[in-house]
Amino acid sequence: MTRLISLLTILFLGLAACTPTSGPGQLGADGLPLPKVYKIRGNASKLQFRMLDSVNALRSASGLSPVQLNAQLNAAAATHSRDMAAQNRPWHFGSDGSSPIDRIARAGYPGPLVGEAISETYETELETLAAWMEEPGPRGVILDPSAVNMGFAWFQEKGGKIWWTLEMGG
């Protein structure tokens, strides 16, 4: 009898080891796991300075001067992130037809616009920066030698989608 119980215990433990402990999560229409929602918490300036440090590291590696965080460009970026969410589309024009040049002027930035990078994602700011660096347009904005100031902001919807905006000024 003891031998039978031991055999059944070993068989049960063997079968238990073959059972997955957790599933793959929710799958999208493409069969791949849906992205995990990144919730932005804590002090906003920490995230902005983390992005600034990352941008300056990329610029330094390319032999370029660092940029400084600028309050007016941050304000223009924040306005545009919220506006993109309201329009539910990532694009460079505001719901009122404003361009990035219009937005930085409204925010009081005295210099010229170097460029703007935007994104709609569930990813972190550093994953978004990595994606921007893979695209020629945003990469050119981030690594433009004439840039001296940077603005960075986001808007996160309740469902987790994040609208990112990066402004570079000369």
pTM, to two decimals: 0.77
19 within a domain of the structure (yes/no): no
Q: What is the CA radius of gyration of the chain?
A: 23
- C-alpha to C-alpha distance for 99 and 65, rounded to whole angstroms: 27
Tokens of 60: 């330094």
69 within a domain of the structure (yes/no): yes
- C-alpha to C-alpha distance for 141 and 91, rounded to whole angstroms: 15
65 within a domain of the structure (yes/no): yes
**pLDDT (tens digit, 0 to 9) for every residue of the chain, 170 residues total?**
555 454 445 544 454 444 444 445 677 778 877 666 677 776 777 899 999 999 999 999 999 999 999 999 999 999 999 999 999 989 898 989 999 999 999 999 999 999 999 999 888 999 999 999 999 999 999 999 999 999 999 999 998 999 999 999 99
Q: Determine contact, residues 60/66, Cβ cutoff 8 Å.
A: yes
20 within a domain of the structure (yes/no): no
108 within a domain of the structure (yes/no): yes
Backbone angles phi, psi at 123, to 5 degrees: -85, 170
29 within a domain of the structure (yes/no): no
21 within a domain of the structure (yes/no): no
DSSP bridge partners of 149 = 68, 169
What residue numbers bound the domain in which 99 lies? 44-169
What CATH number should be reported for the domain holding residue 164? 3.40.33.10
- C-alpha to C-alpha distance for 126 and 117, rounded to whole angstroms: 13
- C-alpha to C-alpha distance for 116 and 38, rounded to whole angstroms: 23
DSSP bridge partners of 118 = 165
Domain count for the chain: 1
127 within a domain of the structure (yes/no): yes
* Nearest by Cα to 47 from 148, 157, 126: 126
